[in-house]
Structure 1
Amino acid sequence: MGVEEELLVVGADGVPVPGGPAALATAARRGEAEDVDQHDRADRGEDAGVPDDARLVPELKAQQLELGTPVCSTLGEVHDQLRHWRDRADAAAVSRGLRVAALGTSPVAVDPVPTPGERYDRMLDAFGRTAEEALTCGCHVHVSVGDDEEGVAVLDRIRVWLPVLTALSANSPFWQGADTAYASYRSQVWRRWPSAGPTGTFGDAAGYHRLVRAALATGTVLDEGQLYFDARLSATWPTVEVRTADVLLRVEDAVTLAGLVRALVETAAREAGAGTAPPDVPSEVLGLAAWRASRSGLGGDLVHPRTGRPAPAADVLADLLGHVGPALADAGDQARVTDGVHALLARGTGAELQRRVHRETGDLRAVVRAAVAVTAGTDAAEPDAGGSR
């Protein structure tokens, strides 16, 4: 498995700053990053000469950068790699007088600045204000599968649980200086992209690829990389990629998410092997479940994947843990992931921490400063979790 995180680049005053390309240029000199020119050349299919261990890359907006772990086998490795690459991203930003923050959206008002590059220019031209205003940070989890047939069998069976992952990761309550009343407003902004959201069942790999071809044939998206389904087959790696989460404020919460995603994939693969049919839930109902998860996070009812009815978030998470329990146990992850879920229920998501800081200070810039500290692991809000139990 592997994890990708998008981070905000911010100044000392808490305002996002278009310093991502400069920070990445510093990191590229250390062999840790693709700079903007390398990334743009790679998108055009040219040899950019990127070091194999470069794990920091540009994003759509210059107020962002992205990190990605190498392939990991254990949650302890995921933790250590996320901690390492968050530190390297922060060090690159510090070299330019800036910091990074794991926030799904900016709490303070900001004018997004596009990252230079041919692909990003095409996106801005094609999608107008949707691309202009998009300054959101997500977390994507990749889990390996044997082939496309297994991958599609997994996609068909995990789709009903994906809104629960949105609720668990909620970390974007503020937008342009105001409280949105959502726990994950990033999810609402993200749904503006034409291909974003839940999908129906595909049946088999041929059905998945037919849909991909049909979507590309509309000319609405630039390429397969812009098929922003909630979960998809990676076009680059032999993985299922789950894309519904906000970037999580705490490293350990990202580890919990990764453990749940891997267990969901393994459980789905076992169900498919046993001939268990995927749940028959319309994508329209999944869209409603996703909206509800975005609205309340873990602070209210969620739509239960098994019943389609509202249920307390704690009950839904308990049923999720039960659903994936054998896979967690077989991977040696059960104690760590169960404790991680209980910790989220007890102290709240990143959205709840952001609102708590705002209530205490009345200052959205203080919210960003608190997020910088937690992202860096220097705040007591993040537990010490340096390896597998």
Structure 2
Amino acid sequence: MTGTGTGTARTVGVEEELLLVGHDGAPVPRAGAVIGTAEPTDGPLEHEFMQEQIETATPPLAALEDIAAAIRANRTGAQAAADRHDARIAALATSPLPVDGTTVDKLRYLAARAEFGLTAREQLTSGCHVHVAVADDAEGVAVLDRIGPWLAPLMALSANSPYWMGVDSAYASFRSQVWSRWPTSGPTRCFGTPEAYHAAVDGLLATGTILDKGMIYFDARLSARYPTVEIRVADVCLSADTATLLAALARGLVETAARAADSPTPDVPIEILRTALWRAGRSGLAGDLLDPRTWRPAPAHDVVGALVDHVRDALVDMGDLDHVTELLGVLWAGGNGASRQRAWAVEADGDLGAVALRAADATLL
């Protein structure tokens, strides 16, 4: 993926981590086989930390319709590759059924498993990472310093991991809880300059705690590989429509922040940002979120509306507002992944394998 703005719309690339499940809904460790026999028509498939998951990535695209089509094409291609090994893909951020994940046999992953113990062994979690093009590191840092207050609503929209090891976690995104165990995860302070950002990364490396720059797990970061801001806060979305919505709103946030680069940065304490993210992971769209305009509780519908208002000018200029409005309507009518999984569990009398299989069906819609 590369990222350069095209016209008035910045390019966007979407990376999705997907579970591989068997016909009973339980995760199966077949990533090596699936990736090893993939055809060019299956799209780009890569390993993640566990053998029970694979990752897809769209190319950098400017038109939201093209982004939506690429997300669907990647999911279809990944399923074609999985079909050869009697597996299904499921856009689930955690497995509803208990699983002991199988670490991919690569030196870096094995080193992480040895160094981080249970934190690494329990990292069968799947996220969605949105790369949005920026001109350079200076613009990227200006963006990072301004989007933090609005990342929690993105988590709430995407929340798709209510179950953990066979039980209801009482969270909409339990992936966010599991992910928060890593030492570099979560929100960041304002950096001000690229030099300060890179000094912070170098300082973390100098502690000897993390293995490499790939373990800078900030909720949003400068990509180490591409000229992009990488927004990493979201669960993998059950619906391709929700993934498209996430991409549009992430781009709107980046564009809005870049336009405000000469204005003062928001002075929000890290503890408030962390609490806002915790609340978003706890209730998703089913309860109150913290409103970034006041830092007081407000209904999720109102906070998401405030997010859209915040990025409205950018959405209008990129031609995305009508599409975003339509996708939000679909989301409010059908619910996010967490609410849909719980509804399916009720319909299936608590059979979480059936929930995983329903999710596999929904992944390809």
Describe how 1:290-369 pairs up with structure 2 within 5 A.
290-362=277-349, 363-369=351-357
Q: Distance in 1 between matches of 2:332 and 2:69?
A: 24
Query: CA-to-partner distance for each residue in 1:37-96, whole Å, 9 max, x for gaps?
Result: xxxxxxxxxxxxxxxxx6110010000000000111111111111111111111111100
Report the 3-state secondary structure (helix = DSSP H, G, I; strand = E; otherwise coil) of the residue aligned with 1:228: coil
Report the 3-state secondary structure (helix = DSSP H, G, I; strand = E; otherwise coil) of the residue aligned with 1:306: coil
Does the alignment pair 1:281 with 2:268? yes
Does the alignment pair 1:129 with 2:128? no
> What is the Cα deviation at residue 343 of structure 1?
2.2
Shift of the 116–32 alpha-carbon distance from structure 1 to 2, 3 Å rule, reads farther
Q: In 2, are the aligned partners of 1:153 and 1:269 still within 8 Å (CA)?
A: yes
1:31 corresponds to which residue? 40
Structure 2 residue corresponding to 1:372, chosen from 349, 353, 360: 360
Does the alignment pair 1:234 with 2:223? yes
Report the 3-state secondary structure (helix = DSSP H, G, I; strand = E; otherwise coil) of the residue aligned with 1:241: strand
Describe how 1:177-192 pairs up with structure 2 within 5 A.
177-192=166-181
Give the stretch that moved more between structures: 3-12 or 340-349.
Answer: 340-349
Report the 3-state secondary structure (helix = DSSP H, G, I; strand = E; otherwise coil) of the residue aligned with 1:280: coil
Q: CA RMSD in A?
A: 0.9
Q: Distance in 1 between matches of 2:253 and 2:87?
A: 37
Report the 3-state secondary structure (helix = DSSP H, G, I; strand = E; otherwise coil) of the residue aligned with 1:248: coil
> What is the Cα deviation at residue 31 of structure 1?
3.4
> What is the Cα deviation at residue 180 of structure 1?
0.3
Q: Distance in 2 between matches of 1:278 and 1:335?
A: 29
Counterpart of 2:14, as a letter, is V
Q: Distance in 2 between matches of 1:283 and 1:21?
A: 39
> What is the Cα deviation at residue 340 of structure 1?
1.4
Q: Please, which runs of 5 or more residues in structure 2 have no aligned partner?
A: 1-11
Q: Distance in 1 between matches of 2:89 and 2:33?
A: 13
Q: In 2, are the aligned partners of 1:104 and 1:172 still within 8 Å (CA)?
A: yes
Identity score, percent: 53
Counterpart of 1:328, as a letter, is L
Q: Distance in 2 between matches of 1:202 and 1:341?
A: 32
Report the 3-state secondary structure (helix = DSSP H, G, I; strand = E; otherwise coil) of the residue aligned with 1:307: coil
Query: CA-to-partner distance for each residue in 1:294-353, whole Å, 9 max, x for gaps?
Result: 000000000111111001111111111111001000100001112212322222100000
Report the 3-state secondary structure (helix = DSSP H, G, I; strand = E; otherwise coil) of the residue aligned with 1:5: strand
The size of the alignment, in residue pairs, is 353
Q: Distance in 2 between matches of 1:343 and 1:263?
A: 19
Using the size of structure 1 for normalisation, the TM-score is 0.89
Does the alignment pair 1:9 with 2:20? yes
Query: CA-to-partner distance for each residue in 1:356-375, whole Å, 9 max, x for gaps?
Result: 00011121011011001011
Report the 3-state secondary structure (helix = DSSP H, G, I; strand = E; otherwise coil) of the residue aligned with 2:260: helix
Q: Please, which runs of 5 or more residues in structure 1 have no aligned partner?
A: 34-53, 378-389
Give the stretch that moved more between structures: 68-77 or 258-267.
Answer: 68-77
Q: Distance in 1 between matches of 2:181 and 2:161?
A: 16
> What is the Cα deviation at residue 126 of structure 1?
1.3
Q: In 2, are the aligned partners of 1:317 and 1:341 still within 8 Å (CA)?
A: no
> What is the Cα deviation at residue 115 of structure 1?
1.0
Structure 2 residue corresponding to 1:81, chosen from 42, 60, 70: 70
Q: Distance in 2 between matches of 1:283 and 1:32?
A: 44
Report the 3-state secondary structure (helix = DSSP H, G, I; strand = E; otherwise coil) of the residue aligned with 2:40: coil
Report the 3-state secondary structure (helix = DSSP H, G, I; strand = E; otherwise coil) of the residue aligned with 1:266: helix
Q: In 2, are the aligned partners of 1:32 and 1:56 still within 8 Å (CA)?
A: no
Q: Distance in 1 between matches of 2:328 and 2:159?
A: 13
> What is the Cα deviation at residue 32 of structure 1?
5.9
Report the 3-state secondary structure (helix = DSSP H, G, I; strand = E; otherwise coil) of the residue aligned with 2:252: helix
